Structure 1
């Protein structure tokens, strides 16, 4: 089964998209990496090469394997052409529902009728995404974790109409990538973010209400709960705008005030302090 999916397309050359493309290419898949911005594609290829150099230094990759993987990456700005002959398309665009729906309409119109269409969304309903296509049974979630080349989990989200055949194919492909796929049903936040985001939100509330400072909160969670990084450091790493978007999906999806985003988070995102990617969030990364 795997051999029939060796030609894939990844849409979106940002942090998640380039990581997903990296893993596919390194595992032997030929990847059309698609983005509307040539500059984003150039940056993605440079990032992938840099991350592969890190793997080489750690002994996990050779120069020869790096060259072979990079040769399997084909950057493109034409979405229709990029998906026209692919049996698997993985969308990894910004976590914006309107954007994703528009992209899936375009993919559905251009990809082969038997192609599987997957979204790397971290919270948006797969059933809602599938509804704008003519193949809802072939739409599924492949939620990779950041950083993709390192993190083992792929949360496989089953839409209301996703078939067992499509589920099994995606589980097998994920294992072929060296990942550990775990199925989940399509409800707001799925599993990972339904549990993680309220914890991050509560950490923000704890700081907002003056219970403790940023470093104190992170230190308590690292040393007391054995977390590899504190929740506020993690929020900066994920992107505060992404955290806010996911919390809004949870809040709107369940209608439960326990998911309401902290006003401090809303203000920080409004001010453009989004974490690592902007140089400032709960911590200052400008230096």
Structure 2
């Protein structure tokens, strides 16, 4: 495999939700042509609006290397998978459903035979997602963080069949995005989700037990430990439904210490998913 020295020139993103749009923004900043694939005309429009809004906001803050119009001229958003065939890298960014992710990855492999495939999963097994791929050695985890353009970290997650050369290339791509790569083996929750969820679940238990208010629990971590956000507010930003799904997965894999607290299940059941719905542990 030829070693890369910069971000791939053409990148595909399958899924234009918040994370997919952020990943697209990051690669546009690095000079790549980006192809987002979505499932309907409505989701195509929504995905384009997300990227355009994100790029426009960055331009207002003076964070773009070129005019927004120049970056956006390199963006295509479509329901057609065919443009993925020209991509050197395709990143899957659909919801955390293993069956859905495996189906998408199989479909992408069919139309992008020469591309490296990556998943943005935050907790699912890379080996499990790769089990139906014809070329698992060309598959890697690239776990980006929300909001992607401003975040500084990407986890490069290595499956048992991932090529060592691909790992080195992935680290280089992350550097080309202006971010820092950490490399972790395929294990439940990787490094970041496992640690972040453990802290958040304990904060939820403390809230249930009346130890302190959500605000004071978070302040203990922001002022006491210099975290940029407390664990409960972070959960609101990530999405309570997302955190619940990860916690359930980790509980199955690692045991009862990751069992979701009652308060998390109740809030999700009530539709209070955090910032995206206007209410979680905080009112937004």
Question: Which residue of structure 2 aligns with residue 220 of structure 1?
Answer: 220
Question: Which residue of structure 1 aligns with residue 86 of structure 2?
Answer: 85
Question: Which residue of structure 2 aligns with residue 75 of structure 1?
Answer: 77
Question: Which residue of structure 2 aligns with residue 157 of structure 1?
Answer: 157
Question: Which residue of structure 2 aligns with residue 60 of structure 1?
Answer: 63
1:84 offset after TM fit, Å?
Answer: 2.1
Q: Is the 8 A contact 1:17 1:92 kept in 2?
A: yes
Q: Is the 8 A contact 2:7 2:32 kept in 1?
A: no
Question: Which residue of structure 1 aligns with residue 108 of structure 2?
Answer: 107
- Seen in structure 2, the aligned counterparts of structure 1 residues 175 and 4 have a Cα distance that, compared at 3 Å, is closer
Q: TM-score, normalised by structure 1?
A: 0.93
**2-side partners of 1:169 and 1:15: how far apart?**
25
**2-side partners of 1:153 and 1:222: how far apart?**
19
1:42 offset after TM fit, Å?
Answer: 1.9
Question: Which residue of structure 2 aligns with residue 193 of structure 1?
Answer: 193
1:217 offset after TM fit, Å?
Answer: 1.3
* Local SS of the residue matching 1:143: strand
Residue-by-residue CA offset, 1:53-80 (whole Å, 9 max, x unaligned): 3322322226x5311110111001123x
Residue 42 of structure 2 is aligned to residue 39 of structure 1:
yes
**1-side partners of 2:61 and 2:152: how far apart?**
18
* Local SS of the residue matching 1:33: strand
Residue 31 of structure 2 is aligned to residue 28 of structure 1:
yes
Q: Is the 8 A contact 1:4 1:87 kept in 2?
A: no
Residue 271 of structure 2 is aligned to residue 272 of structure 1:
yes
**2-side partners of 1:193 and 1:95: how far apart?**
13
Q: Is the 8 A contact 1:100 1:129 kept in 2?
A: yes
Q: Is the 8 A contact 2:8 2:89 kept in 1?
A: yes
Aligned residues: 281
Listed as ranges, the gaps of 5+ residues in structure 2 are none
1:3 offset after TM fit, Å?
Answer: 6.8
Listed as ranges, the gaps of 5+ residues in structure 1 are none
Q: TM-score, normalised by structure 2?
A: 0.94
